[in-house]
Amino acid sequence: MTGEGSDVFRAAAGHSRWAWLQAGDGGPQLALLDDADVSLTFHAGRREVTRHADGRAEVVGDDVFRSLAEELAAGAPGDRWYGYFGYAARADLPARADPALPDAVWMRPSRVLPLAVPAAGTAPRGDEEPQAPTPGWYADAFATVQEHLHAGNSYEVNLTYRTAVASGMRPLDAFARLCALNPAPYAGFVHHDVEGARAFVLSSSPERYARIDLAPGGARTLEAKPIKGTTPRAAAAHDDEAAARHLATDPKFRAENLMIVDLLRHDLSQVCEVGTVEVPSLMAVESYASVHQLVSTVRGVLRPEVGSVAALHALFPAGSMTGAPKLRTMQIIDEVEEEPRGAYAGAIGWLGADGRADLGVIIRSLLTDGRGRYVLGTGGGITVQSDVDEEYAESGWKAARLLRALAPDAVATAR
């Protein structure tokens, strides 16, 4: 599949701001902005929210969550916004600004088309490259994390790193390849080609960050589906079944998942009605093109006075991408990770003026400002039971298909 051959990309031609999401209400959606339509961008380093419309840019605030809530309140009842929150989008938490892309982009389109990216077959399983010996910089970070874990500063730390990839491939074509290699329920593409706020986010995420639905009687339900525990799929059926069984029963994976479920129960309890937070599914194995994942579901009923944007703010960033407890663990992450995460570990999706929303966690994703350099983040949850070589190997095969999306001209450099 190529960008030129897709109805999605033909429809988007000539638009500098648009988004495509797999997880749309009623199916995949292409959101197109005309010149007069509004987009918001946030730069965490400057603490500036900028409003873009009619070729003009105006700073309108210092908190993208607040600015987005204000735009939703002032707009039409049928408005819907598409975009992403990067890892540093919450200015009250310890996270470094992205030096290249905005730390958040949200767009209000005048047109939304029900268009799907065409299927391109199923990518083969078990074809990821074997990993080299673990590098010293990762081992050092892992050792520092273990010191914090043994000191009781955290129960689990999601340790990640970034890989830079030089490639001349257009973001449109890279996204098309990514969809073919790694189909996922929260696939999405944000295209914001605006001087000073340029961002292309290519996501093939399997993980739900948060979904807000309207229940009978006007109540809103909030649901998160954290993923903790991942294993690669095998080419042979019996080996693949064995990998899924191991994932479901391994004590380390189950401990990782349970800690994040407890964190999410806490996060939801801050914004939900007392007694409504529940875990309808605990540690279910879900299978995707390249991996099996251990997935839990945490759900609650939002309190009437809590706005939908405020609810997303309370959960942000996803507990599966931090560890527990969240604040202290984010401080540890800021200490040991050498580069900012950027959009990686944030959330991508849509928000409606009617109170509904659906966003995925930004993992299995490529980020670029369109100047021939892509960045991808990868990593995993570290506990006291973790092995440094196993964790580094896991981070490598998680990233393998992303790198293949940029082949044949990709040149990767770790960190």
Question: Would you please indicate which residues are annotated as catalytic (active-site) residues?
Answer: 207, 228
How many helices and strands (H and E) does the chain possess? Answer: 9, 22
C-alpha 24/C-alpha 174 separation (Å) is 21
Q: Are 30 and 8 in contact, with CB atoms under 8 Å apart?
A: yes
Provide the token pair at 229. Answer: 């525990």
- Count of positions (residues) in the chain: 415
Q: How many CB atoms lie within 10 A of CB 186?
A: 25
β-strand partners of 111: 32
Nearest-5° Cα angle at 169, 166 to 173: 140
Q: How many CB atoms lie within 10 A of CB 144?
A: 15
Amino acid of residue 100: A
Helix axes 237-249, 251-269, angle to 10 degrees: 60
Amino acid of residue 410: A
Q: Are 381 and 158 in contact, with CB atoms under 8 Å apart?
A: yes
C-alpha 201/C-alpha 222 separation (Å) is 25
C-alpha 150/C-alpha 162 separation (Å) is 26
C-alpha 177/C-alpha 30 separation (Å) is 18
DSSP 266-293: HHHHTTB-TT--EEEEEEEEEE-SSEEE
Provide the token pair at 63. Answer: 């908190």
Non-local (6+) Cβ contacts of 275 within 8 A are none
Sign of the C-alpha dihedral computed for residues 323, 328, 330 and 334 taken in this order: negative
